[in-house]
């Protein structure tokens, strides 16, 4: 049995690829993994944003690479994964953070725009599959690895809107369970983090100040989540501290999903 004192949450020398890390939760995660010692590929559909985050990290003394990657496009994913492996010598860690929805058109089952449905599933669910299948051989060649897929509380509750988003995140969780079950014997762990309402720049623009205040008041902890809250959870699950955690959903929502006061915002 491994002595618990020998287990570290450090990621020194390991190579991580983080999708959707040009801003928000993804960029906070890329920064946090670098602080833990990882070498990080910052990838985003907005390549300029990814390269800006990577440049900031390099200027701070970290090892980072900024890449354009549209996770819904298999060729784009393969190119980003290959570029990461060539630059850093392999891949040990994956955080699939990229996600998309459109609040105006991701509605109920009768009303959801089918083009929106297709794009949400392609980005959130298929994007996760494309990334996972691309990194698995590289992780196996390194003797193992760790994967975190970003889910959502929407995967586990009923909502009046966002049917495509909820379905896509439920698919993400099932993908996680499949990978954990099928590839654990290869030394590859897979888990999911399910955030609650996280105050990113996008969320701040999309929800009124009154709505944000109401959401904070409804949360058992009395506040909204931050991108760093999610980044810290991802860093833990990717680290050796979580070496016996596999196939699990870690809810990082302040207890919102278990609160009887769960409700929407303006």
Distance CA 115, CA 106 (A): 10
SS3 content of the chain, % helix, strand, coil (to 5): 50, 15, 35
Q: Please say whether the beta carbons of 172 and 151 come within 8 A.
A: yes
Q: Please say whether the beta carbons of 70 and 45 come within 8 A.
A: yes
Ordered strands of the 93-96 beta sheet? 64-68, 39-44, 15-18, 93-96, 145-150, 188-195, 249-252
Distance CA 70, CA 47 (A): 9
Q: Is 183 designated active site?
A: no
Which residues fall within 8 angstroms of residue 242, CB to CB, at 6 or more apart? 146, 189, 191, 236
Distance CA 128, CA 175 (A): 8
Which residues fall within 8 angstroms of residue 207, CB to CB, at 6 or more apart? 197, 215, 265, 266
Residues of 65-79 as b/e, b for ≥16 C-beta within 10 angstroms?
bbbbbbbbbeebbeb
- Please identify which of the residues 165, 179, 229, 232 carries the catalytic annotation: 165
Distance CA 17, CA 132 (A): 11
Distance CA 78, CA 160 (A): 36
User: Which residues have a catalytic role annotated?
Assistant: 165
């Amino acid at each position: 049995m491994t002595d618990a004192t020998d287990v570290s949450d450090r990621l020194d020398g390991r190579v991580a690829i983080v999708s959707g890390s040009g801003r928000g939760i993804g960029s906070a995660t890329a920064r946090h993994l670098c602080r833990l010692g990882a070498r990080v590929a910052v990838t985003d559909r907005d390549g300029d944003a990814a390269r800006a985050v990577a440049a900031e990290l390099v200027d701070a003394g970290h090892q980072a690479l900024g890449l354009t990657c549209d996770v819904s496009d298999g060729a784009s994913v393969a190119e980003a994964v290959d570029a990461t492996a060539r630059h850093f010598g392999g891949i040990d860690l994956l955080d699939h953070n990229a996600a998309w929805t459109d609040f105006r058109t991701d509605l109920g089952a009768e009303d959801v725009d089918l083009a929106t449905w297709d794009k949400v599933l392609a980005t959130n669910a298929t994007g996760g599959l494309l990334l996972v299948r691309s990194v698995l051989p590289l992780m196996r060649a390194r003797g193992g690895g760790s994967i975190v897929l970003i889910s959502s509380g929407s995967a586990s509750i009923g909502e009046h809107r966002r049917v495509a988003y909820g379905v896509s995140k439920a698919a993400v969780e099932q993908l996680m369970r499949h990978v954990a079950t099928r590839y654990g014997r290869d030394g590859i762990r897979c888990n999911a983090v399910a955030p609650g309402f996280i105050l990113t720049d996008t969320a701040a623009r999309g929800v009124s100040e009154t709505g944000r205040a109401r959401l904070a008041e409804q949360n058992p902890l009395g506040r909204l989540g931050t991108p760093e809250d999610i980044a810290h959870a991802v860093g833990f699950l990717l680290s050796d501290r979580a070496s016996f955690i596999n196939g699990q959903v870690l809810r990082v929502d302040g207890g919102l999903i278990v609160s009887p006061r769960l409700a929407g915002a303006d």
